[in-house]
Amino acid sequence: LCSWARDHQIVGTGVDMSLLFSQQAAARAEELGVSDRVTFVHQDASGYVASQPCDIAACVGATWIGGGVAGTIELLKQSLTPGGMLLIGEPWWRKRPATAEEAVACGAQSPDDFLTLPALVAHFGELGYDVVEMVLADQEGWDRYEAAKWLT
């Protein structure tokens, strides 16, 4: 959000239930000189609806806030202007686990927690949405993301 504010002059609000992440985001906003354009709300995003409609509503890696992709889309839609866009970041299975034990070993609760990539893209279509852009994390990027959480 802070980088978008710096690079694209947007105004935005970030919502996170982690006080540490909210504090780190506010510090980053100060560092980038965008604290006048971004706000950070420390709360569970599962019921958050923006006070004013926005052009882009995003949920990156936390679709549990809506009980999955479909529910998160319904939640985010409440904050969008007509014609607004959604940005959804969602993990997906490279290979669906055969058992619940395999899923748990991968950090999930069950094999049904995530879809394969083709099924996820199809799911957006079933919900009436077009995927207009996709960025995929490779194993190295995912490892970097996960490792950053070790000290927090």
pLDDT tens across 17-69, in order? 999 999 999 999 999 999 999 999 999 999 999 999 999 999 998 999 999 99
> pTM (2 decimals)?
0.84
Q: Are residues 39 and 11 in the same domain?
A: yes
pLDDT at 149: 75
Q: How many Å separate Cα 81 from the centre of its chain?
A: 19
CA angle in degrees (0–180, nearest 5) for 111-103-140: 110
Q: Are residues 56 and 38 in the same domain?
A: no
Q: Are residues 127 and 98 in the same domain?
A: yes
pLDDT at 152: 59
pLDDT at 53: 95
Q: Are residues 39 and 58 in the same domain?
A: no
Could you tell me if 29 and 55 are in contact, meaning their C-beta atoms sit under 8 angstroms apart? no
Q: Are residues 99 and 149 in the same domain?
A: yes
Per the structure, the complete domain to which residue 13 belongs is given by: 1-43
Count how many domains the chain has.
3
Q: Which of 44-48, 55-59, 111-115, 140-144 has the lowest mean pLDDT?
A: 140-144
Distance of alpha carbon 134 from alpha carbon 136, whole angstroms: 6
